[in-house]
Amino acid sequence: MLHKKNKTSRKQPSQSRSRATVETILDGCVRVLDQEGMQAATTSRIAEASGVSVGSLYQYFENRDAILNALQDREFARTAEMIHAHLVRDKFDTPRDLAGSVVESLLRLYRSSPGLHRVLALEGLRVAPTDRVQAFDHRIVETLRVFFESTIFPIRRRNKHVAAFVLYQSVRATMLAKILEEPPGISDELLTEEVTDLVVSYLI
Amino acid sequence: MLHKKNKTSRKQPSQSRSRATVETILDGCVRVLDQEGMQAATTSRIAEASGVSVGSLYQYFENRDAILNALQDREFARTAEMIHAHLVRDKFDTPRDLAGSVVESLLRLYRSSPGLHRVLALEGLRVAPTDRVQAFDHRIVETLRVFFESTIFPIRRRNKHVAAFVLYQSVRATMLAKILEEPPGISDELLTEEVTDLVVSYLI
Amino acid sequence: MLHKKNKTSRKQPSQSRSRATVETILDGCVRVLDQEGMQAATTSRIAEASGVSVGSLYQYFENRDAILNALQDREFARTAEMIHAHLVRDKFDTPRDLAGSVVESLLRLYRSSPGLHRVLALEGLRVAPTDRVQAFDHRIVETLRVFFESTIFPIRRRNKHVAAFVLYQSVRATMLAKILEEPPGISDELLTEEVTDLVVSYLI
Amino acid sequence: MLHKKNKTSRKQPSQSRSRATVETILDGCVRVLDQEGMQAATTSRIAEASGVSVGSLYQYFENRDAILNALQDREFARTAEMIHAHLVRDKFDTPRDLAGSVVESLLRLYRSSPGLHRVLALEGLRVAPTDRVQAFDHRIVETLRVFFESTIFPIRRRNKHVAAFVLYQSVRATMLAKILEEPPGISDELLTEEVTDLVVSYLI
DNA sequence: GATGAATGAGGATTCATTCAT
DNA sequence: GATGAATGAATCCTCATTCAT
């Protein structure tokens, strides 16, 4: 009743060509967000930046929000994978090294598309009114919690869930603020060091 | 020094009545942001919620963005004042008490108008191209730095500026995420406690 | 849920100026329907033909369909009034005269805006999926039925409701077809005469 | 003589397979019109309902309007044939029986695809600028006129052409209104009876 | 000063048509 | 011949801004 027709939720991007187009569109959207910001992310601007027509956008996505949702999903997945990959590494030296490498990777990830991550943080591309942000934030927090529960490193926090939540929000916000504001007198190295200190002194 | 460069310089809100109207409008805008979100903050909705006409809005503000900018200014000022007030209090017991009370106040402040602060966070009302956010963030960070430099409490961080930056971003983001996402199983008290721990273990 | 906001169903056209604008828009819409047909009745074309801006259209009407609905309401009301006025006239000579004058008036009414009435017939401006047509058709049929029940003229049809229905549809369709197709060799006078015969020989 | 002036003349549907595809497409279009209405009759919906690809649609038809035109041609032809078949029947009892059987058949025909006939009525699929409707209406009217001129039944109308025109429009409109509006309290049988009365009392 | 009706540029979405495979 | 992905003009609608009263 809300939509005249509901078809089969657009093109099922199963064929590799379809999937490629979807990725192309998402990449275009990231470019727009990074260089021109959220308010510029109109359907025609996204189409233009992706090198496809507006019509094609709608061949692959239900509507504008669906693009942003998909982009969010993809980026959260990448973030989660990145963090997970660090935590399951066999080889590590000290807890501090591990923490530092995660922090540093996060900084790098954010720097690769600051505009995108600015929007993702807190506001979460605004689409599903909070659910999507919460759901994905939660996934990352869970990854951290599980690690805290199972690592042989001694963690002095009683409530691992809260600890994961606090640390994820803290590190993310600090790194993003760094990239977005570039406050004078604070280098990447220095900040990575300090944030790692924050994490380690809280956990151990 | 706050005059910005208003081409037509609009209403110089010198008369108290004018100032009152400006405040009324900002309050209306906050109400809209809190209850209906950013996408509802249209000029006519703000006018309606403020009890003034759209025309009057433009008597007091250059354009829509100017309203959001002014609101941002006001809220950052309040935050800065609140933090400052805590830090200059004569009476305090322990460093932990002080940190805890700041953290708690921040949580309260955010909870009083979550919609407003969600928008302010990182994105800075998306208006001023980061300058405004940076400027005000900087002011708060400076307040903290000065405190760290001058307090008789022993602070083990070498670079007080970075420490202030890291802590401000961390506490703010964590508290906001709490309010906006309300992750299950994390109470206000518990989180306040943990964040205070984060601050104290990093600083002392 | 269907609409983001529902306001108070637009401007309440109580002031005479508002009402005048509403009429202006409806008149513009009629002009478009008559001269360019239904497919040309786009919001911007209607606005243009009415001499107002698209924005103003939406100040007075919820959406495009609301314009067509209002127009239909107005035209049905006019038709009903016209028919009613004929039936309640004190002075008339014979049943045939009365029938003939109604038939003739209807032809004149349709000729005043053929494009509009073409659309109104059967399709009914398409908006409320049939309800509106049915409702108004019904009103006119009722007017006729009441007349048939109460007139001192002898009516030989048993079921006055069906008779009213049959006659209204027949006269309307024939007159409209005449205007829209202008079949060669059939003059207004001749057709009026024949249709009057159809009515009279059926009724009396 | 039906060749129209197809610029590129498309597929001359001489091969039986081509003709079959054309029919398939028209049938699909009818299904869409009946079940979903005119606004749903998009090229892709018609293609889907016909089990062919959009591309194939354009193999057989110049453009969308050509499909609707062809459909109109076909349906008018069927109607004309149906009426003709009744009129040339050798066996009939009374004039009333003949009239009644035509009226009833028309009702049945319309009921078999109401959505199609709603669109065809008066509006003539809104395609050809009235010419097509007129031409076909005229053909049916001519069939009737010829019958009126040649039948041994006594017809009391002087101008047989006008009589045919009036009756065709009247019967068609009444039957269609019945099907499209389904006014409460009017059964098929009752209406058929009344309309037959209308015809007979006018003619004889 | 205040008002709110009027304006129209801009944004989301649809769909007839084309064309490479 | 058949397919259906790609295209973009055309449509509905919103909302920041202006200006006559």
Strand E bases contacted by the protein (CB, 7 Å): 1-20
- pLDDT higher than 90, residue C129: no
Q: What is the pLDDT of residues B123-143, one digit of tens each?
A: 554 444 555 556 677 888 999
Q: How far is the CA of B133 from the C1' of F19 (A)?
A: 35
Q: Is D191 helix (H, G, I), strand (E, B) or coil?
A: helix
For A148-157, write each residue's pLDDT tens digit: 999 988 999 9
- Give residue-wise pLDDT tens across range B145-199: 999 999 988 999 999 999 999 999 999 999 988 988 888 899 999 999 999 999 9
**Residue D46 has what pLDDT?**
96
Question: So what's the architecture of D71-203 in CATH?
Answer: Orthogonal Bundle (1.10)
Strand E: which residues 19-58 of B lie within 7 A (CB)? Answer: 21, 52-56, 58
Domain boundaries, chain D: 11-61, 71-203
End-to-end CA distance of chain C: 55
Measured CA B115 to C1' F18 distance, in angstroms: 30
* CA D171 to the chain's CA centroid: 13
Give residue A44's pLDDT: 96
pLDDT of res. A15: 65
Contact assessment for residue B153 and residue B67, using Cβ atoms and an 8 Å cutoff: no
Q: How far does A18 lie from chain B, in Å, by closest CA?
A: 32
Residue D97 has a pLDDT of 92
Q: Which residues of A45-75 are buried (b: 16+ CB within 10 A; e: fewer)?
A: bbbebbebeeebbbbbbeebebbbbbbbebb
Please give the protein residue whose CA is closest to the C1' of the nucleotide F17.
Answer: B63
Percentage of the residues of chain B whose pLDDT score is greater than 70: 85
Eight-state DSSP code of residue C92: -
pLDDT digits (tens, 9 = 90+) for A6-43: 444 455 444 677 888 999 999 999 999 999 988 899 99
What residue has its CA nearest to the C1' of E19? Answer: D55
**Nearest-angstrom CA–CA distance, C197 and B37:** 68
pLDDT in tens, A42-78: 999 999 999 999 999 999 999 999 999 899 889 988 9
Q: Is A198 within 8 Å of B198 when comparing Cβ atoms? A: yes
pLDDT > 90 in chain B, percent: 57
User: What does the pLDDT read at residue A77?
Assistant: 87
Q: What CATH code would you report for C10-62?
A: 1.10.10.60
| Out of D126, D138, D194, closest to residue C166 by CB | D194
By CA distance, what is D198's nearest residue in C?
Answer: C202
The DSSP result for B51-82, as a single string, is TS-HHHHHHH-SSHHHHHHHHHHHHHHHHHHH
Query: D126 phi and psi, to 5 degrees?
Result: 50, 5
Greater model confidence, D50 or C124: D50
| Percentage of chain A lying above the pLDDT 70 cut | 84
Task: Provide the pLDDT for residue A149.
Answer: 94
The answer to whether the CB of B141 falls within 8 A of the CB of B163 is: no
Residue C58 has pLDDT above 70, yes or no: yes
Q: Does domain A11-61 bear CATH number 1.10.10.60?
A: yes
Average pLDDT score over residue span C81-101: 87
Say what the pTM is.
Answer: 0.85
What pLDDT, on the 0 to 100 scale, is given for residue A190?
96
* Cβ(B103)–Cβ(B110) below 8 Å: no
> Does residue C138 have a pLDDT over 60?
yes
Contact assignment for C38 to D126 by CB distance below 8 Å: yes
pLDDT at res. D127: 43
pLDDT of res. C132: 55
pLDDT of residue A145: 95
Return the closest-CA partner of residue D171 out of D197, D149, D147: D197
For the domain with range A69-203, which CATH number is right: 2.60.40.10, 3.40.50.970, 1.10.357.10, 3.40.1350.10? Answer: 1.10.357.10
D180 contacts: CB under 8 Å, gap ≥ 6: C122, C130, D114, D118
Q: Given a cut of 60, is residue A134 above it in pLDDT?
A: yes
Contacts of A138 in chain B (CB under 8 A): 183
pLDDT the model gives residue B101: 93
Strand E-proximal residues of C, range 101-140, CB below 7 A, are none
Q: Residue B14 has what pLDDT?
A: 52
Report pLDDT for D157.
Answer: 96
Task: Identify whether the C-beta of residue C59 lies closer than 8 Å to the C-beta of residue C11.
Answer: yes
Nearest residue, CB atoms, B133 vs list A119, A161, A181: A181
Residue B80, C-beta contacts closer than 8 angstroms, at least 6 positions apart: B136, B139, B140, B143
Query: What percent of chain A is predicted at pLDDT more than 90?
Result: 58
What gap in Å lies between CA D145 and CA D186, rounded to an integer?
Answer: 30
pLDDT number for residue D129: 52
**Residue for token pair 């187009």:** A21
Note which residues in 19-58 of chain D have CB less than 8 A from chain C: 38-39
Residue spans of chain D under pLDDT 50: 1-9, 11, 13, 125-128
**CATH code for residues B12-61:** 1.10.10.60
The chain-wide mean pLDDT, for chain B, equals 85
Chain F bases near protein CB atoms (7 A cut-off): 1-20
Which chain D residues are Cβ-neighbours of C176 within 8 angstroms? Answer: 122
Q: What is the CATH topology of the domain spanning B70-203?
A: Tetracycline Repressor; domain 2 (1.10.357)
